[in-house]
């Protein structure tokens, strides 16, 4: 055994990071630029790269180095890095190489076919591919659950939101389900008495793209280290040094792509401001997907739909789409804050959004735990949409159970992070407001720097040094408290 194990680990994780970089950019290209005929070859190449990373990470030497490094004289930050290394190693070492490869191939096949199948409302064509992804995800969940001594679903949830459990989510979501439906109804009733004007399109894609770039600039996106493109489903990918964000355009609707871009810019700013001294090391990664979603929702909902931000965006909108009656400040704010239960999660307002997440959580947990099968999804989806949002998706797979990309590549356990993120975001914004007494004056003047500096200081610069609970407590003075989310929605909409 080498005398100094920790430096060996640092070198190994640096190599892994470089492979992840290539994988991220190849994945981004697959979703944005690649001709359809390249799908199979790219899927195989990415699976091969995944196997290579798995081999490197699960090498017996890595496990031995982790044990040896525990005894070495390390700084506090190095100890945090070692903790994250152990977590990465333990997560990977559980899975056989064959499963890693099979899951990657099945996910790429399902996701690629989904792009055209969704457009064609083709559930019959989609279901067989999804079944294979579910089969492999259940296999993975069973292996992880046995090792961790928890439920299958909790084992997958832990990948995205370390420390979170289905039992804790059930309590949080039961609380939401207690007060959200009546709040939603109150807001809809209140807004019905004050109708607002719809902007008149069409809104040409090129001008929408230009507007998105303008919004990214207002929000401090670093264009030397990132870019904006088009994909079937909006996402933020790449690496901190080269962040790729995407959106999709609809020429009849200017809000969807715009707020999609603002959402992804929140993810991007987090990535671009992770601690550079820890680049390529696990402690330099974003804390969790819930914390990641808190940043995108902080940008899109807390800041992006606030009158203070919208008033600075409006001149750019008038400049590109004309000065029509819908673009008075009062109307534009009312329109951007309009609450209307709809089919599509990524276009949902922040009041009805949690219903979309709870629905997916309940279905995916039952699916992974083996209580339902793929064939049951459309019926259950329709039933829950009617129950939570008063809408039917019977036969409408495209805008129902086929609308998201997450399940196509086995991202089971991810969806709860969206609503956790909304709760974290409300709590963070409240803390920022307490810490910065003149925040409103800054925002009204178009000076967003104090807010971003607060985020950099309290969230971004820490990477994965602390657990989610520690990070939130340090930033806000307490652990997750869903009351902040309720207070935010009540104050903004009622």
Out of 84, 132, 264, 350, which one is annotated catalytic? 264
The answer to whether 111 is a known catalytic residue is no
pLDDT for position 3: 66
Position 472 pLDDT exceeds 90: yes
CA distance 135 to 125: 17
Contacts of 197 (CB under 8 A, 6+ apart): 325, 326, 331, 335
Average pLDDT over residues 295-308: 97
What ranges do the domains of the chain cover? 1-94, 160-493
Does 263 show up as a binding residue in the annotation? yes
Position 111 pLDDT exceeds 70: yes
pLDDT for position 124: 98
pLDDT for position 471: 98
pLDDT for position 97: 93
Position 470 pLDDT exceeds 80: yes
Does 267 show up as a binding residue in the annotation? yes
Going by C-alpha positions, the residue among 422, 455, 423 that lies closest to residue 439 is 455
Q: What is the CATH number of domain 160-493?
A: 1.10.1370.30
Position 2 pLDDT exceeds 90: no
How confident is the prediction for the chain on average, in pLDDT? 96
The pTM of the full predicted model, rounded to 2 decimals, is 0.95
Distances (CA, A) of 107 to 102, 246, 362, 415: 8, 20, 22, 17
Does 293 show up as a binding residue in the annotation? yes
pLDDT for position 146: 97
Distances (CA, A) of 73 to 7, 76, 78: 12, 10, 9
pLDDT for position 422: 97
Contacts of 23 (CB under 8 A, 6+ apart): 46, 49, 50, 53
Average pLDDT over residues 361-370: 97
- DSSP states of 99-152: HHHHHHHHHHHHHHHHHHHHHTT-HHHHHHHHHHHHHHHHHHHHHHHHHHTS-H
Pairing of the two strands 242-247 and 236-239:
antiparallel
Whether the Cβ atoms of residue 211 and residue 327 lie closer than 8 Å to each other = no
Calculate the CA dihedral of residues 28, 33, 34, 36 and round it to 10 degrees: 120
pLDDT single digits (tens) 171-202: 999 999 999 999 999 999 999 999 999 999 99
CA distance 12 to 20: 12
CA distance 459 to 473: 11
- Portion of the chain with pLDDT greater than 70, in percent: 99
pLDDT single digits (tens) 252-285: 999 999 999 999 999 999 999 999 999 999 999 9
End-to-end alpha carbon distance in the chain: 65
pLDDT for position 233: 87
Average pLDDT over residues 400-410: 96
């Amino acid at each position: 055994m080498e005398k100094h194990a920790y430096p060996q680990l640092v070198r190994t994780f640096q190599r892994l990071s470089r492979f992840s970089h290539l994988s991220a950019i190849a994945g981004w290209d697959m979703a944005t630029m690649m001709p359809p005929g390249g799908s199979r070859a790219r899927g195989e190449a990415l699976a091969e790269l995944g196997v290579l990373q798995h081999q490197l990470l699960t090498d017996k030497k890595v496990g031995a180095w982790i044990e040896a490094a525990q005894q070495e004289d390390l700084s506090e930050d190095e100890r945090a890095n070692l903790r994250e290394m152990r977590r990465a190693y333990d997560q990977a070492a559980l899975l056989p190489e064959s499963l890693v490869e099979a899951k990657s191939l099945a996910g790429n096949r399902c996701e690629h076919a989904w792009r055209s199948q969704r457009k064609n409302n083709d559930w019959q064509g989609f279901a067989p591919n999804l079944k294979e992804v579910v089969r492999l995800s259940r296999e993975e969940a069973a292996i992880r659950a046995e090792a961790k001594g928890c439920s299958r679903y909790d084992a997958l949830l832990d990948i995205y939101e370390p420390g979170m459990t289905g039992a804790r989510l059930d309590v949080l979501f039961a609380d939401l389900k207690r007060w959200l439906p009546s709040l939603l109804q109150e807001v809809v009733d209140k807004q019905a008495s004050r109708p607002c004007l719809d902007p008149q399109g069409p809104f040409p894609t090129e001008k929408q793209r230009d507007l998105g770039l303008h919004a990214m600039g207002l929000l401090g996106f670093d264009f030397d280290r990132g870019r904006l493109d088009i994909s079937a489903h909006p996402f933020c990918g790449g690496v901190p040094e080269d962040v790729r964000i995407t959106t999709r355009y609809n020429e009849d609707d200017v809000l969807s792509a715009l707020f999609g871009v603002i959402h992804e810019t929140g993810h991007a700013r987090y990535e671009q401001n992770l601690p550079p001294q820890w680049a390529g090391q696990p402690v330099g990664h974003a804390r969790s997907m819930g914390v990641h979603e808190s940043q995108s929702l902080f940008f899109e909902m807390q800041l992006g739909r606030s009158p203070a931000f919208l008033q600075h965006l409006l001149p750019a909108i008038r400049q590109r789409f004309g000065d029509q009656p819908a673009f008075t400040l009062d109307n534009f704010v009312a329109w951007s804050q309009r609450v209307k239960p709809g089919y599509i999660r990524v276009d949902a307002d922040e009041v009805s959004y949690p219903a979309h997440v709870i629905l997916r959580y309940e279905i995916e947990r039952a699916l992974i735990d083996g209580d339902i099968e793929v064939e049951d999804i459309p019926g259950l989806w329709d039933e829950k949409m009617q129950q939570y949002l008063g809408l039917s998706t019977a036969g409408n797979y495209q805008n129902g159970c086929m609308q998201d990309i997450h399940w196509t590549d086995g991202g089971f356990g991810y969806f709860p992070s969206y609503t956790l993120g909304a709760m974290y975001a409300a709590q963070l914004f409240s803390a920022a407001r307490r810490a910065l007494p003149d925040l409103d004056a800054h925002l009204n003047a178009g000076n967003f720097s104090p807010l971003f500096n607060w985020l950099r200081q309290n969230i971004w610069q820490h990477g994965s040094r602390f657990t989610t609970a520690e990070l939130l407590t340090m930033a806000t003075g307490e652990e997750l408290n869903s009351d902040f989310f309720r207070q935010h929605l009540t104050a903004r909409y009622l």
